[in-house]
Amino acid sequence: MQQIIALLVENKPGALMRVTGLLSQRGYNIESLTVARTLDSTLSRMTITVEVEPQTRAQVIKQMNKLVNVLQATDVTEGPSVNRELVLIRIRTTQSTRTAILKEAEIFQARVVDSTVEGFVLEATGDPEKLDEFLDVMRSYGDIEVTRSGIISMPLDNKKLRLSPPVPRGAAQEEVLEYQRAE
């Protein structure tokens, strides 16, 4: 079953590799992946769509949460969330199809971002299923070229972010045991 995982990670080299490595080492194929900076430029928000066997789902999330660079990993599939994707389509047109294509685009609330005599580039956003339908419709007008952004996700319930506070450096080993209160 498809699992959508939302992650908040430190914006550091290798952070993405660590997260995707947990999936590839189990032989899971990533369906889509988006990463971008958050308001805080030291952090990135990541959304991964991946096919994971049901019995390993919780384990994968736990392993992600163990990564030093990961502040939070959440299984979005579990709770209510808004999932959106953006698609860009290049479609070739003829005199006779142009109007019809524009009409269809309007139905899907797609925008024309480039228009030439050969055709259009259309932009549409929506939930992934709706975009699939849009692509099916557009394909009926001929060959299309497609770039999809991959899913970005916003959970509707606000999960509390628990971060570890700084640890003063003192007598190394003692302090390691003294600290450790973050639950």
| Residue of the chain from 4, 5, 6, 9 that contacts other proteins (CB under 8 A) | 9
Per-residue b or e along 155-166, where b marks 16 or more CB atoms closer than 10 Å to that residue's CB: beeeeeeeeeee
Distance CA 77, CA 162 (A): 21
- Measured from the CB atom, the residue of 107 and 163 that comes closer to other proteins is 163
Residue window 132-171: x/- pattern of binding to other proteins, with contact defined by CB under 8 A: ------------------------------xxxxxxxx--
Work out whether 176 is an interface residue with other proteins (CB under 8 A): yes
Residues between 33 and 72 with contacts to other proteins, criterion CB under 8 A: 58-59, 62-63, 65-72
* Dihedral Cα 49, 52, 56, 61, nearest 10 deg: 0
For other proteins, the closer CB: 35 or 86: 35
Does residue 13 interact with other proteins by CB under 8 A? yes
Report, in Å, the least distance between residue 53 CB and other proteins.
14
Exactly one of 1, 39, 117, 177 binds other proteins (CB under 8 A); which one? 177
Alpha carbon separation from 77 to 100, 153, 160 (Å, rounded): 37, 10, 17
Phi-psi region of 105 (alpha: psi -120 to 50; beta: other; left: phi over 0): alpha
Region label for 109, one of left (φ > 0), alpha (ψ between -120 and 50) or beta (otherwise): left
Residue 123 backbone dihedrals phi, psi, to 5 degrees: -125, 130
CB 6 within 8 A of CB 74: yes
Q: Does 27 contact other proteins by CB under 8 A?
A: no
Cβ-based nearer residue to other proteins, 12 or 139: 12
Residues that bind other proteins (CB under 8 A): 9-10, 13-14, 17-18, 21, 25, 58-59, 62-63, 65-72, 162-169, 172-173, 176-177, 179-183
